[in-house]
Homo-oligomer: A and B are copies of this chain.
Amino acid sequence: MADYDIFELGDVVLQSGLTLRDAKLAYKTYGNLNSRRGNAILFPTFYGGQHTQNEPMIGEGRALDPQRYFIIIPNMFGNGLSSSPSNTPPPYDRARFPPVTLYDNVMCQHRLVTEKFGIARLALVTGFSMGAQQTFHWGALFPDQVERILPWCGSARTSRHNFVFLEGVKAALTADDAWQGGWYDKPPSKGLRAMARVYAGWFVSQAFYREAAYVQMGAASLEDFLIMQEGRRLSGDANNFLAMLWSWQRADISANTIYHGDFSKALGGITAKAMVMPSRTDLYFPPEDNEWEVCHMPNAEYRPIPSIWGHMAGSPGANPVDTAFIDHALKELLAR
């Protein structure tokens, strides 16, 4: 039995001009909406993640406390629960799944929030990695409907370097002939494993490996850690990974008819109280990019996470110290 709900979006015309027909937004809520509808928090998912992987941040005594807040986790398109290559019927199935931007994602999430729940204003939007990118989008696209944002380990626009890192991931996955241009019947497992090995260099830091921090994750050795990563990718779907990767590569809060590509203006449009939290050692969402963004945001604080876990510092529950650091910041921001 599924532990989540589906919001039926109907036919969604995307930024690309294609139509995601009978689009489905899978979501899960935690806690109760209060009578003023003023305690809602939106917490979008990250690359390859589903709502369950956000859950380590939610709980009694935590910032995201369901006793106090009504927390909504919308699953990103392409993640296998919301409309994705793996679950969409022909003709838009598999390799033909239409390109979906984070703008498209956020527009559909907005419908969920307003049409389904009648929420006019969110107390907070927050998220990790691509979830952080969606958070930035919310801030720029709906400034009057978002009181606070706390994006961590993600940027308002995917940098060129980040784009190139993803080109490598994509090239490794699609180098496997078994991928068949997306029309595989059996998963391209060699490509998925290659993708995992490429990723492994990026999503933690040099210092993480120097100090063999993977042992804390239950890996017996470096190679054991790499094979654990292969397992994570093998459990996913190649076209789904590629669909989300496409969304990631094009993430840009200004790529829409509101800001017309004026990135500084879009950042200036984020009037919510903001706390922007990179990991100090993140290799693809490096702190410098966030630092620049914060300079262009009217109400933002820049607060790096002092971690050697690289990007993974922000992965919900990856390690207790960094998770507590982020939780503490969330509490502080919610108290403002």
Contacts and interface: CB of A to CB of B under 8 A. Distances in A.
Interface of A: 159-161, 163-165, 167-178, 190-191, 193-194, 197-202, 205-210, 212, 222, 226, 283-284, 286, 288-289
A286 B159 CA distance: 21
A197 B190 CA distance: 17
B206 A167 contact: no
Interface of A: prevailing SS: helix
B198 A159 contact: no
Contacts of A160: 209-210, 212, 222
A209 B164 contact: yes
A205 B258 CA distance: 32
A194 B171 contact: yes
B288 A159 contact: no
B201 A159 contact: no
B201 A165 contact: yes
A307 to B, nearest CB: 15
A112 to B, nearest CB: 35
A305 to B, nearest CB: 17
A26 to B, nearest CB: 31
Nearest to A172: B172
